[in-house]
Amino acid sequence: MTDTSPPSLLLANCTVLDARVLDGLAPVPDAGVWVRGDRIAAVGPYAGVAAQARAAGPVTELDLDRAYLTPGLVNMHTHFSLSLPGTGGDNVKTMGPYDLAHYMADGARRTLHCGVTTVRCVAEKDHADFALRRAITAGRIPGPRIHTAGRALVCTGGHGHESNDTLECDGPVGFRRGVRSQIKAGADLIKVMISGGIAGEHEGIHTPQLFADELAAVLETAHAWGRKVTAHAGPAEVIATAVELGLDCVEHGYQLTPQVVTRMAERGTALVPTLLVTRCKAFFDELGVPEWMQCRSLGAGPRHLESFAMAVEAGVEVLLGSDMPPFWDFEGTNATVRELEYLAEGIGPARAIHAGTRGPIRWLGAEADLGTVQDGKLADLIAMDGDPLADTSAFRGVRWVMTGGRVARDDRAGVP
């Protein structure tokens, strides 16, 4: 008779930790994690977990060689089809649909291998993100779990209108239709551009781009369909209005004030600060980004850091998101880990782990399945040699990645 039981894997010789350290849960040294099928069946001291796993039937043991084991990272501001102004971006813009699909699939694979097991896409071209999500879910290509907004909503001529990863809308009726069109395509959330930014030549960061009735229409429609809304936003005045109307998340927040961050904390509006985008000259140079954009971006950096510090002090929920492609080689590591390091400078390693794992998963509404190393959760796990509670830079050394119970990377075994 054919054995139809799910594959059983015992992870051994590791220290297990997750964001519950903030709740007083200490890391578990000399731990065992029993993975059965795509989920964690048991976790705890090795002897007890091993006995439980072996009593259930044949099990394969994998020695992690004293690694630290955590949940996979979550990048909440991802663009697999990013095309900034400049020669690098032009190369992406001119790709046909087949080239774009392969380009995005390669980015998804590289993202997973960095230890990012879940992403939130916040504007992708031609709805290619939905095809990418289907391919990953079906197991045809390797990649992280994708939660996506589809195309971002903008006013006519608004931030990002030059690319087909946005949808131009006007008036409350137009924006209601825009929300519904993305939900029809399969969007998990809605992204809306409510101010100018650093990548629009004929706008400023401070430029308001939606009227209150338009934004209210976006929020009311999305929330009626059970979707959260995140907004590209820079200036405090624009963000203040959005927060009062019920915005769920702010992207960037370049020019916050103490009053605005206080209301964000009170109303539960999260912040994805994307600290990399105002301190990444080497990345801009690599892509041939024009001088006007570099000056605007780098010039916004000091105020951006002040805004982040204000948000942290006020108790705003801060979440990891790089804006730069998650896998991009930058300052000796990948963009996701570099952003996490910047976050840790302001909130410390334990809260940074929360911002890169449990916090985003809660925002995405996926906490029943992901975000911590617990019985019953999906086995999205990563391992590294250093202790990330001592230094967030330990994530630079991720050498083993599992998603849904399948090993996607194991440097010591030559996988992939």
In a domain, 262, yes or no: yes
Are residues 162 and 23 part of one domain? no
In a domain, 134, yes or no: yes
In a domain, 119, yes or no: yes
For residues 206 and 235, what is the distance between their CA atoms, to the nearest angstrom?
Answer: 5
Q: Is the pLDDT of residue 287 over 50?
A: yes
Last residue of a domain, one of 323, 349, 364: 364
Q: Domain of 149?
A: 73-364
In a domain, 2, yes or no: no
Give 2 or 285, the one with higher predicted confidence. 285
The whole-model pTM stands at 0.97
In a domain, 1, yes or no: no
Are residues 143 and 98 part of one domain? yes
CATH number of the domain bearing residue 378: 2.30.40.10
Are residues 189 and 94 part of one domain? yes
pLDDT tens for 337-352 read 999 999 999 999 999 9
Q: Is the pLDDT of residue 75 over 60?
A: yes
pLDDT score recorded for residue 134: 98
Are residues 256 and 137 part of one domain? yes
Interval 215-227 mean pLDDT: 98
Q: How confident is the model at residue 1 (pLDDT cuts 50, 70, 90)?
A: very low
| SS3 call for 407 | strand
Are residues 199 and 66 part of one domain? no
Are residues 43 and 90 part of one domain? no
| Overall number of domains in the chain | 2
Last residue of a domain, one of 339, 364, 389: 364
Are residues 206 and 96 part of one domain? yes
Spatial neighbors of 287 by CB under 8 A, at least 6 apart, are 84, 86, 87, 88, 89
Q: Is the pLDDT of residue 2 over 60?
A: no
What are the helix (H) ranges across 186-246?
212-224, 236-245
Are residues 132 and 65 part of one domain? no
Are residues 67 and 85 part of one domain? no
CATH number of the domain bearing residue 227: 3.20.20.140
